[in-house]
A and B are shown apart, each in its own frame.
Chain A
Amino acid sequence: MRPILMKGHERPLTFLKYNREGDLLFSCAKDHTPTVWFADNGERLGTYRGHNGAVWCCDVSRDSMRLITGSADTTAKLWSVQNGTQLFTFNFDSPARSVDFSIGDKLAVITTDPFMELPSAVHVKRIARDPADQASESVLVLRGHQGRIARAVWGPLNKTIISAGEDAIIRVWDSETGKLLRESDKETGHKKAVTSLMKSVDGSHFVTGSQDKSAKLWDIRTLTLIKTYVTERPVNAVTMSPLLDHVVLGGGQDASAVTMTDHRAGKFEAKFFDKILQEEIGGVKGHFGPINALAFNPDGKSFSSGGEDGYVRLHHFDPDYFNIKI
């Protein structure tokens, strides 16, 4: 395959997200302007100007009309996907790290970093249908994580919130009462900071990537460990193919050590693993820095990766990818 290279960002990529139909690709980077691209040919559709700090995360509503972004400028913003206008700004006391729309787009979960003695927190906001009615109050605030919360997502039927972060513990919260329901085991859980979390298409399980050089597959209801994928570099990004039983791990050595070694030694490939057999299928090379973000097109026929090198690489699979046998 010949990947499409998108050089719209000046700074390292932080997050990638496809909309539901898979025709738009949203990219967030440390350069303040989230960008939307056409996912088939990589043409830039537009940018969302207004943030004043690195943008860590984004999510798009099911109808592809609203975009929510979380930024290090201590705000999370709602945007109109079509024309890039700001609809609303949520202000926090510390940088916003992760955002996720609930099923039905009526709620959003936003996590904030620990900052100036403030502990990290998970905020739940109600999203109004009409931006004019939008309120800034949090419906619920969850505290309990030590250090940054890398990602928080909605569980099945919006009944739970799953969060994971620097303290390497995955937590499941009740989204109504805010009660902590489950915690991942010290024995089976990650040993170092969790960097990414990604739900499966049907929402029955999720995969987490960690700096302990592994990715783990969990049951979303019971929080039981199902599979572990071991690699030889810290995992910054994980994603799952919606079509095949494949898990993709992206990572690489620490960005501060990149200039000191050859790019081959950095292990900057996206590694494909068989979801069930936990065996490596292959690697896709190309980035000159660690991979920070990975996303699969909902049709499962292409995926994109965003790196510390500022490039988004959009890969459309060759036909023989679909009949790989282990």
Chain B
Amino acid sequence: MAFDRNGSAAPAKPSKLRWGELDEDDGEDLDFLLPPRQVVGPDENGIKKVIEYKFNDDGNKVKITTTTRVRKLAKARLSKSAVERRNWAKFGDAVHEDVGARLTMVSTEEILLERPRAPGTKGEESKVAGDNLAQLGKGGAVLMVCRTCGKKGDHWTSRCPYKDLAQPVETFVDKPAAAEPTSTKGAYVPPSMRAGAERTGTEMRRRNEENSVRVTNLSEDTREPDLLELFRTFGPVSRVYVAIDQKTGLSRGFGFVNFVNKEDAERAINKLNGYGYDNLILRVEWATPRAN
């Protein structure tokens, strides 16, 4: 059996007894005025209704309807004595059980038998860790936090594939040429800005820009999750970004969505360009590569 409580309280009809005939005595128990408890059902769908009346704190009569679903257990094999015990009268404290006292509840939380090792997951995890280590060489994966996109353990800040799409920190990007002389002075130069590594950085950037879609004319309340919801239908999305004005905290009305596959991005542009979203007409187009 399962409980599914939909309690509702509504003021009942005025009683036939005139109030003037009643004593003003506050302590008096007026329960005899209440209509008796009614039990309706259970009907063919197993819906059982219990209608009870009681006085609330203000002395008003309140009708409490409790709707429960009674579910028959399939193949329940009960012994005769167990069936008999089912009909035993309540005793002890259970006799005067309050209507509102919900001693028995069904957990709202789904509890699972948590396996110490879910089949498959462990293998995958170790594989991912291995990949990271391979990329890294000998750096600690825990320390690897990207300052641009905040992603942990995926890449260093300097190799962030999204850095030029994020808030303007171009000073960083535009500097490789200037950085070279400083490196001779012995100051620290991030690996990506050293002469050899520069190429891979730009390659990565270009690849990401290719599947980047610019969305303009967004309403001010549109946030990244909304945008993700909108674009996810077309295919896997690797990043969603909505430009936020840092002073006001409001959306600046445009954003970027990066797709994993180019075809998905194309379909999204075809479908969503001119689409009415939150009272505004979206403009969706390829993000123009940033002119360096």
Residues of A at the B interface (CB closer than 8 Å) are: 1-8, 21, 23-24, 33, 35, 37-38, 40-49, 63-64, 82-84, 269, 272, 280-286, 313, 315, 317-318, 321, 324
Chain B positions 100-150 with a Cβ under 8 Å from a chain A Cβ? 102-116
Instruction: Give 9 closest A-B pairs by Cβ, nearest first.
Output: A47-B92, A46-B91, A23-B82, A42-B104, A282-B113, A41-B1, A46-B92, A84-B91, A47-B93
Identify 29 residue pairs between A and B in the complex whose beta-carbon atoms are under 8 Å apart, listed by A's number: A1-B110, A2-B110, A3-B107, A4-B104, A6-B103, A7-B103, A7-B104, A21-B81, A21-B82, A23-B82, A35-B92, A40-B1, A40-B73, A43-B104, A44-B103, A44-B104, A45-B88, A45-B90, A45-B94, A46-B92, A47-B93, A49-B92, A49-B93, A64-B85, A280-B116, A283-B113, A284-B111, A317-B113, A321-B113
Say whether B277 faces chain A, with CB atoms less than 8 Å apart: no
A46 and B81 contact, Cβ closer than 8 Å, known pairs A3-B111, A6-B104, A7-B103: no
Query: For B2, B79, B103, B114, which residue has the most chain A Cβ atoms within 10 angstroms?
Result: B103
A1 and B112 contact, Cβ closer than 8 Å, known pairs A44-B94, A44-B103: yes
Do residues B82 and A5 form an inter-chain contact, with CB atoms below 8 A?
Answer: no
Query: For A38, A313, A315, which residue has the most chain B Cβ atoms within 10 angstroms?
Result: A38
Query: Considering only CB atoms, which chain A residue lies closest to B1 in the complex?
Result: A41
Say whether B86 faces chain A, with CB atoms less than 8 Å apart: yes
Query: For B73, B93, B109, which residue has the most chain A Cβ atoms within 10 angstroms?
Result: B93
Do residues A1 and B93 form an inter-chain contact, with CB atoms below 8 A?
Answer: no
Do residues B73 and A21 form an inter-chain contact, with CB atoms below 8 A?
Answer: no
Chain B contacts for A269, CB-based, 8 A: 114
Do residues A7 and B85 form an inter-chain contact, with CB atoms below 8 A?
Answer: no
Say whether B78 faces chain A, with CB atoms less than 8 Å apart: yes
Do residues A1 and B106 form an inter-chain contact, with CB atoms below 8 A?
Answer: no
Do residues A47 and B116 form an inter-chain contact, with CB atoms below 8 A?
Answer: no
Instruction: For the complex, give the distance between the alpha carbons of A281 and B112 in Å.
Output: 12
Say whether B275 faces chain A, with CB atoms less than 8 Å apart: no
Instruction: For the complex, give the distance between the alpha carbons of A238 and B216 in Å.
Output: 62
Query: Considering only CB atoms, which chain B residue lies closest to A1 in the complex?
Result: B111
Instruction: For the complex, give the distance between the alpha carbons of A239 and B59 in Å.
Output: 50
A23 and B86 contact, Cβ closer than 8 Å, known pairs A5-B104, A41-B104: yes
Query: For A46, A82, A272, A283, which residue has the most chain B Cβ atoms within 10 angstroms?
Result: A46
A46 and B113 contact, Cβ closer than 8 Å, known pairs A40-B73, A64-B85: no
For the residues of A in contact with B, the DSSP-based class is loop
Chain B contacts for A38, CB-based, 8 A: 86
Instruction: Write the nearest CB–CB distance from A137 to chain B, whole angstroms.
Output: 30
Say whether B97 faces chain A, with CB atoms less than 8 Å apart: yes
Do residues A33 and B92 form an inter-chain contact, with CB atoms below 8 A?
Answer: yes
Chain B contacts for A2, CB-based, 8 A: 106-111
Chain B contacts for A282, CB-based, 8 A: 113-116
Instruction: For the complex, give the distance between the alpha carbons of A6 and B86 in Å.
Output: 18
Query: Considering only CB atoms, which chain B residue lies closest to A315 in the complex?
Result: B111
A83 and B107 contact, Cβ closer than 8 Å, known pairs A41-B3, A44-B97, A283-B113: no
Do residues A46 and B90 form an inter-chain contact, with CB atoms below 8 A?
Answer: yes
Chain A contacts for B112, CB-based, 8 A: 1, 284, 318
Chain B contacts for A33, CB-based, 8 A: 92-93
Chain A contacts for B107, CB-based, 8 A: 2-5, 286, 313
Chain B contacts for A5, CB-based, 8 A: 104-107
Instruction: For the complex, give the distance between the alpha carbons of A152 and B195 in Å.
Output: 79
Chain A contacts for B109, CB-based, 8 A: 2, 286
Instruction: For the complex, give the distance between the alpha carbons of A39 and B111 in Å.
Output: 18
Instruction: Write the nearest CB–CB distance from A306 to chain B, whole angstroms.
Output: 14
Instruction: For the complex, give the distance between the alpha carbons of A41 and B4 in Å.
Output: 12
A23 and B114 contact, Cβ closer than 8 Å, known pairs A47-B94, A48-B92: no
Do residues B114 and A284 form an inter-chain contact, with CB atoms below 8 A?
Answer: yes
Instruction: For the complex, give the distance between the alpha carbons of A84 and B88 in Å.
Output: 12
Do residues A47 and B103 form an inter-chain contact, with CB atoms below 8 A?
Answer: no
Instruction: For the complex, give the distance between the alpha carbons of A54 and B241 in Å.
Output: 60
Do residues A23 and B90 form an inter-chain contact, with CB atoms below 8 A?
Answer: no
Chain A contacts for B106, CB-based, 8 A: 2-5
Q: Which of A23, A47, A48 contacts B85 (CB 8 A)?
A: A23
Instruction: For the complex, give the distance between the alpha carbons of A218 and B268 in Å.
Output: 67
Q: Which of B85, B103, B108, B116 contacts A8 (CB 8 A)?
A: B103
Query: Considering only CB atoms, which chain B residue lies closest to A313 in the complex?
Result: B107
- Besides A3-B106, A8-B103, A321-B113, 11 more A-B contacts (Cβ < 8 Å) are A2-B110, A4-B106, A7-B105, A21-B78, A45-B94, A46-B94, A84-B92, A282-B113, A283-B116, A284-B111, A285-B111
Instruction: For the complex, give the distance between the alpha carbons of A5 and B111 in Å.
Output: 12
Instruction: For the complex, give the distance between the alpha carbons of A236 and B84 in Å.
Output: 35
Instruction: For the complex, give the distance between the alpha carbons of A3 and B2 in Å.
Output: 11
Instruction: Write the nearest CB–CB distance from A67 to chain B, whole angstroms.
Output: 12
Do residues B113 and A272 form an inter-chain contact, with CB atoms below 8 A?
Answer: yes
Chain A contacts for B89, CB-based, 8 A: 83
Query: Considering only CB atoms, which chain A residue lies closest to B85 in the complex?
Result: A23
Do residues B103 and A82 form an inter-chain contact, with CB atoms below 8 A?
Answer: no
Query: Considering only CB atoms, which chain B residue lies closest to A50 in the complex?
Result: B92
Instruction: For the complex, give the distance between the alpha carbons of A48 and B92 in Å.
Output: 6
Instruction: For the complex, give the distance between the alpha carbons of A43 and B68 in Å.
Output: 13
Instruction: Write the nearest CB–CB distance from B2 to chain A, whole angstroms.
Output: 8
Chain A contacts for B73, CB-based, 8 A: 40
Instruction: For the complex, give the distance between the alpha carbons of A317 and B113 in Å.
Output: 9
Instruction: For the complex, give the distance between the alpha carbons of A24 and B86 in Å.
Output: 9
